[in-house]
Every structure is written in structure tokens, then in C-alpha cells.
Structure 1
Amino acid sequence: MTYPSQPGYPSPYGQPPPGGRQQNNLWLIGGSIVLVLVIVMTVILLVVQQTQSDDSADGGGDNGGDSDNGGDDGGGDEGGDDHGDLGSVEINADACAAFDLSAFESNYGSYSPDETSTSSSNSGGNPSVSCTFYNEDYTSVYLYVTDWDSASDVADYVGSDADYYNEENGYTYSEYTDYGDAGSMYTTDYGESTATTLHVALGSLDVTVSTTLYDNESITAESGLAVLEDFVQQADVLFADYK
């Protein structure tokens, strides 16, 4: 805002004020302002230099801490799960592509991605997905995963397999305790082939994985079971956020 100029006051005896005195006052005022600015800039420079020194010291301390953390993480990875490098995924049709098929190919031979079938649903907020993986001879592994509301309900459900998949109904049943919170394994002999199913509770996750192997195949029952167990362990890692 610009203020209006004040009217000049007449000097005594009608004479103009002495010009020399005004000039001296202006020089004094200008010199004072310059001196104040120099002092202020000096203080600011000192503060900035001190701040930079403090930041450098803090940065050195932080870097040391990061190095320690890196060492701890490296040790944890070496002793962790074989599938620790798998990231968490959602239970949907895309989840089938997240599985590592190294164990499958080591035991079943080359994997045929074009033959893979998938399906998924989400009923009442409980997502589920099924995947069927084939080798070049069309021998397959079927995987089904669903998330329940209660972990105890899943464990009870898996435990009830003994009432249905028993000898009276044409199955060979055994409790599976190698992995998970509860588990069952049952087989059915069809004469020329044998179907093996692994049913495991992983917290609130209900995981079923099965395969049918023909007698004239080179894949042994032990190899088939190893692949089923591998899929169960991968499901435990991939869907850990649901447990």
C-alpha cells in the first residue's frame, strides 16, 4: 500500500533546511542497514553449515545400521523356506500362474502350459481357485484352494475325511502329519491307475491336491507324493495373507 506523502514543514525564518545534514543522515542510515544485513547473512551461513554437519553425522550412523540389517536378512533367507522367494498373491484364476513348477517338471517331465485349466469363484466372501497342471503325456496334478472363515472349521473338515475316505468306501486312508495343522491322505486303486489325494488345513486355508498315475508310467507313487507336498507348501507361502 502506498501512503500519501506528507507535506513539508517550513524551516525557521523561511530558509530551506541545510542539505549537508540530510546527506549525512542518509549515509548513516544506509551504512547501518548494510551492517545489519552482513550480520544476518553471517548468522544464516553459520546455521546452514552447522545443519549440514549434523546431517552428515546422522547419515553416517544410518548407513551403519543398514549394513547390520542387511547381514541379518541374508542369514534369515539362507535358513528359510525353500519357497521363500514367492510373493503373496490373491486367490483367483491368476494365482495358478504364480506356482513354481520346478518340482512338477523334475518328476512328471515337461509341463504343457497350453493344457492348464483354471477356475475360480468367490462365494459369500470365501474365495477359491482350482488349477490342473499337465505334462506332455497328459498326466496331471489337480490343485484346489479355498479360504474359510475359521481355521478350526477347516481342521475339523479335514479330520472328517476318515469318516468318508475309508476302506469301507474303497479308499486307503492315513492321517497326514508332515505339514499343516491337520491333514489326510487317501488313495484309490482303479486297477490300471491309482489316484492319490492330499488334503491339508493351513490355518483358514483348505488345500486339496491330487494326481492319478497309471501303472505303465515312469512316475512312481513316491515322486507323485513329493509333487503334491510341494504344491501344498507353495500354497502356504503364496496365500499366507489369508491365513
Structure 2
Amino acid sequence: MKEYEIYSDLRVPVNSKIIVRLDGRSFHSFAQNMELTKPYDDNFYKVIVEVSKELFEEFSPLFIYTFSDEISILLDKVPFNGRIEKINSVMASFTSSSFTLNYDVNFPKAVAFDSRVIPITDDKIYDYFKWRQDEAWRNCVNGYGIHFLKSKYSSSQANEKIRGLGLSDIHEMLFQNGINLNDVETWKKRGIGVYRKNREVTGFNKKESKKQTSYRSFIHVDCNLPIFSKEFFNELF
């Protein structure tokens, strides 16, 4: 029956980098059922950060970027010999389990993440993450916009009023009503990055009887990302 597993040997190109993007399944309903704070729930994002850190520890990627219920993982060491079925199934199940364990509450139903594999070349890494960061900004503007409108109107009226408005229109509407998105925390506007940094460590070399400085890498959670540039990724890798 092994011959029926026709997709099991589908693999990513040899020696390539990939991005694995994970998305929460039906998380709009999840947010309603869990009565999450709108437009941003601090506890939800603390959990997403912990999940991202655990993914980093497990799979040693170059970079993780997350906003909303989305996590993008850039890998140069592709696991499972590049087998796409294996990558998708393990990544999605690991993320779902990590999220459930870190949230530590009884959910009304099982939480699930889907997964997709995206082959990427070095010259397209910036383009991909800039695309996702632009989406994080749109998510921020629209989130604050609909939250404000729902504080004034019914849900149906709020949805009708925001329909067709551009980002600049929503931004101006919020500003005219005392909400300046420039004052919003950076991670809400630009997302969160997880990557390795070096930390200076000073110790004492007993053999040479002197202080000695070395560097150790650690997993850094960056909640103050800049607007992505090619230089950012050049320095990172």
C-alpha cells in the first residue's frame, strides 16, 4: 500500500531556504469565544511570542516574524530531508500543541494551525517579510478603525462605514477622534521578530589570572522592529 502515498516524497529544492508560514485556523471565532480584548489582547500575544520562541528552539531558524495569529519561519537548515508533508504536519501540530500548553486554559474546542512551505531565494527574503509587515500595518489600522466604529455604532453599521475606506482615511478618522496611531506600541504596527543576538559575557580566566570577554548567542524577542529594509536582513544574516 506504500505506493498510494503519492505525496509523501514531495520535497523542497535541495540546498534551498524555505519559509514556513503558520496561521491560526478560525481564530476570528476563537477571539470571540475567548472574549479577547480588542483590538489587541496582550495575553494572546504573550502566548504567540512563547510559541515562536519554542519553534525557534526546536527548529533553529534564521528568523521568525509574527503578527496577529500568523508566524513566518525562515529556515536555511531544512528539516526532515525537505519532505513537505512532514514539514507541514510537524510544524502545524507543534505550533498547535505549544499554543494550547502556553495558554493553559480549557478551550471550547481544539486549537489548530495550518502550515505552508514557501521556497525562497536570498534576494526575495526582504520582499517576503516587507509584504507581511505591510499586512501587519494594515491589520493594525483596520483593527483600531473597526474597534473605534463599534464603540459608536452597531457591528453591522460599523462594518458598513469602514467598507471602502482606505488606510489613510481610517488613519485620519482615528486622528480626528483623538487616536494617534503614531503613539501605538511598535509591535502592534510592525509585528514581532525572534532571532539570535550575541551578548557580551565577562568572566575570569584562572589560567591566565585575568578577566576575559566572550560572546554568547541568545534568542532575542524584538518588539521594536524597524520598518524592514534590505540592510536589516543583511545585518541579521
- Would the TM-score normalized by the shorter structure come out above 0.5? no
TM-score by length of 1: 0.26
Give the greater-gyration-radius structure (CA): 1
